[in-house]
Structure 1
Amino acid sequence: MNRGTTGHTVPSIAGGVPCQAFVPAPLPPCPPLEVDNKLQGRINQAMLALGRLDAISTLLPDASLFLYSYVRKEAVMSSQIEGTQSSLSDLMLYEMEGQPGVPMDDVQEVSCYVNALNLGFERIRAGHPVAHRLIMEVHEALMTSGRGISRGPGQFRQNQVWLGGHRPDEAVFVPPPATHIADCWSQLERFINDQPEATDPLIKAALAHVQFETIHPFLDGNGRLGRLLIVLILAEAKVLHEPLLYLSVFFKKHRQTYYERLQQVRETGDWEAWLLFFVDAVADTATHAVTMAQQLNQLRAYDRERLAELGRLAASAQQVLDALFETPIASVNKLVARSGLTHATVNKALAALEQRCGIVSEITGQKRNRVYAYSAYIQILNQESP
C-alpha cells in the first residue's frame, strides 16, 4: 500500500553542511496494515518454519553444541555486512588464543557480537523487557573492543549522520537529528512493548527493525544491533527459546533489495512490500538452520560409525571427536582439557582421525602448538543458502 511518506523532514546540519533529516512517524502504520491472502500465506509459512526451528533441540543430541557454532556463524555474517573480513575459522582461532588471519580489530568486532547476543538473551531469560536499558547494555557489549570502543558504546549519538553519498545534502538517507532520537526511541519502545495495543510478534519484529534502522540511534553498530533486535523480540514473545534465527545471510545475499525495501517504506509507506521480503527471509533462514542441524546430526552419526575401524583407539577418538563437535577448530591443549585425556592419547587419536579416517586436518603446519579442524563440520556451517 502506498501511504505516502512515513515521517517528516526537519532542517539539520551535518559536517557543517545543511541538510534535511527524516523523523519517522510512530508505529503502528497508519492506515493499518493490509494483510491480504498472499501476505497471510507467506506469514503462515514463516511461522511454520519458526516452529520447526524452535523444535531443533529434538534434532540434535545436544542442541548447545549446534548453538555454539551457529551463533558464531551469525556473528561473522552480520559483521561481514558491515565490512569486516573475519571468517568463522578466524573467530574460533581468536577465541582459543590462536592467531587469526585477518586484522585483530575485525575479529574482535565479531567476538563482541557473540558477547552482545549472549548478553541480550541472558537478559530476556531473566525477564527484562526489550527496552532502553537492555538495548544500551547490548550496544555497549557490541562496541567494547576493536574499532567500536571509540564510537560511543551504550550511548545515543550526539551528532547528525547520513547514509550513502559523500556529503549529507546528497545522501541516500539522513536519519533524525540527535535531538530527536530520545523521543523516536521512546515511541518505538512503547510499540515493542505492546503499548497501546498488542502486535503479532513476527510483524512486530519486522516493523521494529525498519524503525530502528531509520532512527539510526547510535554512531556505529546500528546494522548489527538492528538485526539482533529481531531475534530478541521473538525471544521475548517466546516464539523462539534459543538464539537460532539470524537473517544476516539472507540480507547479505539480497542486500540491494533489503536497502530498497527499507527506503521504500520511508518514501511510500509500503510496509506490506517490506513484510513480504521479511517473512520470506524468516522462512528461508529457519528452514536452512533446520537442514543444517540435520546435516550435522547425520555427520556426527556417520563419523562415529567410522571410528570402529580404529580398534583400541576408537573410544579415545570418539572423545576427541565429541570435543571437536563442540568447537570444530581446537588446539591439542584445548582438546586435552575438553576430553580429559592425556596429551599422548589425544595426539594418537588425532593422528588416526587425520591419517586413517580423513575426518580432521591440522591447519598450522607446525610441529608444536598444532590446531585441528573438523573439516566437514566447518563446510556445513559455511553454507550460505539452503
Structure 2
Amino acid sequence: MAEYVDALWPGTPNGVTRAERRSGGYRVYVPDALVGRPLMLTAERSADIADVERQVVALNADEHTLVGLEALARLLLRAEAVASSFIEGLQINVRRLAKADVAEKAGLGGYDDTARAVLGNVRAMESALSLADGGDVTVGDITELHRRLLAGTRDERWGGVIRTEQNWVGGGGVTPCTAEFVPPPPDMVPDLLDDLCAYVSGDDHPVLVQAALAHAQFETVHPFADGNGRTGRALIHLILRRRGLAPRFVPPLSLILASHADAYIAGLTGSRYEGPAGSPGAQEAMGLWIDRFAADTARACTDTERFRAELDELETAWRGRLGRVRADSSVDLLLRALPSAPVLTVATAAELIGRSVQRANDAIGRLVEAQVLKQTTVGRRNRAFEVPELVQALTGFERALASPVGDTRQAPPARPVPYRA
C-alpha cells in the first residue's frame, strides 16, 4: 500500500552552517510495486489511448515524404534530448549543439559543459533505442543508460551508480526537511528497480499506459544522485520502441513536457496516491497522469507531422536550386541526410552517405554553390558547413512546440526558447 512515512533527519553535527547541523522531520514516499498493481481504465480513457497510439503508428509508417525517415528520426532525437535537458535547467540552441556534436565526432575540444551534458543526453536516448531491440530490460540496462548520460560531464563518476543515501527534490535546502518531494529510502531502491524492470519487460497494459506508469515510477524512485529526469524520459523511448509502437522514431514528447513543465511536475506529483492501489482515489490519480501523458504525446505527433511537411518543402526548394540531381548520387543522398546534420564536415558527410571523402567533398561543393550549405568553422580553424535554413526550421519547430497553440505568433512560448535568426 502506497504511503508517506514520517522520518527524522538527524542533522550533520560537523556541518558548517546551522541549517546543516539542524535536525528535523520530513516525509518519505513509498510507492506500490508496478507488477500486479490493479488498473481500471474507463472506456473513454481506453479509447483516447488507442487514438493516440494510432497517431504514433501513423507517424512511423508514413512513406509519403521526401525527407528520409532515418534522417528525421535523428533530428527529432536531437530535439528530444535538448528538450529533456531543458527541463533539468540545461539550455542550448540548435547551432551550438550541432557544432559541439561535430567537434566531438572529430575529436576536437572546445565545447562547453552544457553542450557535453546535452550530447550525453543524445547518447542516452540512442542507447535506449538500441536496448529496445533486445530481450527483457534489466537494472544493468537502466544503469547503462545513466552512465552514457553522464559520460564526459563533471558528474561522470556518478554515472550508473545507484544511490545508497537519501536524496530529495526541490526545497533549496541542505536537508530533506524543506524538500518538495522525498523519494523512497535507499534500502528500498534495489527491489523497486527490479520490479520496474519486470514491469517494463512485460505487456500487461497498452504501450502508452506502460510508458506513462513506468516513467512516473522511475521519477518517484529517483534511483540516482543526478540525471533521473533525463534517464526517465529516455526510458519512455525504450518502451515505445520495444513494444513496437514506434519502430522508427518516437515523437519528441520532451519538447511538449518542457513547454508544460509545471503541469508535467504536477502530473507526476498527483500520480503519487496514498492507500490501496485499487481504491477510487488511487485509480483516478493514475488515470489523470495517463491522460496528461497521452495528450502530450498526441500534441507531439501533430506538431511533428507539420514539421515534416515543412522539411519536405525545404528539400523541394533545395532541389529546385540545384537543377537535375541523379538518383542515389552523392548529392541526392546528402540532401536526404541533411536533416540529421545541421552542421557537418566533409568527413562526417562521407560517413553519413557511405561514400568516399572525395565524393562527399564534391557533393558539398555543389550544395555550397546552390546556397544550401554555408561554410563555417568548428573550433579555431576546422572547416565545417552549416545548413542555415535547417537551423532556422528546427529553431522554429522548437519555438512552436513551446507555444500552447503551436504557433508563437498566436500565443507566446511557455518557456525560454531560442531566438529566430
TM-score > 0.5, shorter chain as reference: yes
Offset at residue 7 of structure 1 (A): 2.8
The answer to whether 1:179 aligns with 2:214 is no
Q: Secondary structure at the match of 2:29?
A: strand
Offset at residue 113 of structure 1 (A): 1.6
Partner residue in 2 for 1:110: 118
Instruction: Pick closer, same or farther for the CA change 1:308–1:173 going to 2, 3 Å.
Output: same
The answer to whether 1:217 aligns with 2:223 is yes
Q: Secondary structure at the match of 1:96?
A: helix
Contact 1:158 1:178 in 2 (8 A): yes
Instruction: Pick closer, same or farther for the CA change 1:139–1:348 going to 2, 3 Å.
Output: closer
Partner residue in 2 for 1:327: 341
Q: Secondary structure at the match of 1:97?
A: helix
Following superposition of structure 1 onto structure 2, how do residues 243-282 of structure 1 map, counting pairs within 5 Å?
243-267=249-273, 269=282, 270-282=285-297
Offset at residue 263 of structure 1 (A): 1.1
Contact 2:183 2:220 in 1 (8 A): yes
- The amino acid across from 2:389 in the alignment is A
For residues 292-326 of structure 1, the C-alpha deviation after alignment (integer angstroms, 9 at most, x for no partner) is 223212321221022129x9xxx886676456444
Offset at residue 375 of structure 1 (A): 1.9
- The amino acid across from 1:377 in the alignment is L
For residues 361-384 of structure 1, the C-alpha deviation after alignment (integer angstroms, 9 at most, x for no partner) is 444599964433212222222313
Partner residue in 2 for 1:349: 366
The answer to whether 1:377 aligns with 2:390 is yes
The answer to whether 1:162 aligns with 2:168 is yes
Give distance in 1, aligned partners of 2:11 and 2:376: 47
- The amino acid across from 1:292 in the alignment is F
> What are the ranges of 5 or more consecutive residues in structure 2 without an aligned counterpart?
13-22, 274-280, 407-421
Give distance in 2, aligned partners of 1:226 and 1:96: 27
Offset at residue 179 of structure 1 (A): 1.1
Partner residue in 1 for 2:412: none
Q: Which deviates further from its counterpart, 135-144 or 237-246?
A: 237-246
Offset at residue 128 of structure 1 (A): 2.8
For residues 90-112 of structure 1, the C-alpha deviation after alignment (integer angstroms, 9 at most, x for no partner) is 22211222899996211111111
Give distance in 2, aligned partners of 1:130 and 1:30: 19
- The amino acid across from 1:146 in the alignment is T
Query: Percent identity over the alignment?
Result: 27
Instruction: Pick closer, same or farther for the CA change 1:31–1:198 going to 2, 3 Å.
Output: closer
Give distance in 1, aligned partners of 2:195 and 2:305: 35
Give distance in 2, aligned partners of 1:102 and 1:365: 9
Q: Name the count of aligned residue pairs.
A: 370
Give distance in 1, aligned partners of 2:66 and 2:264: 33
Alignment partner of 1:284 out of 299, 304, 307: 299
| Structure having the larger proportion of residues in helix | 1
Instruction: Pick closer, same or farther for the CA change 1:14–1:220 going to 2, 3 Å.
Output: farther
For residues 179-199 of structure 1, the C-alpha deviation after alignment (integer angstroms, 9 at most, x for no partner) is 1111222222232233xx812
Offset at residue 120 of structure 1 (A): 2.4
Instruction: Pick closer, same or farther for the CA change 1:185–1:295 going to 2, 3 Å.
Output: same
Following superposition of structure 1 onto structure 2, how do residues 1-386 of structure 1 map, counting pairs within 5 Å?
6-11=2-7, 13=9, 16=12, 17-18=23-24, 19-27=26-34, 32-37=39-44, 39-60=45-66, 62-97=68-103, 104-125=112-133, 127-150=134-157, 152-167=158-173, 168-194=176-202, 198-267=204-273, 269=282, 270-308=285-323, 321=335, 324-331=338-345, 334-335=348-349, 340=356, 341=358, 345=362, 349-354=366-371, 359-364=372-377, 369-382=382-395, 383-384=397-398, 385=401, 386=406
> What are the ranges of 5 or more consecutive residues in structure 1 without an aligned counterpart?
none
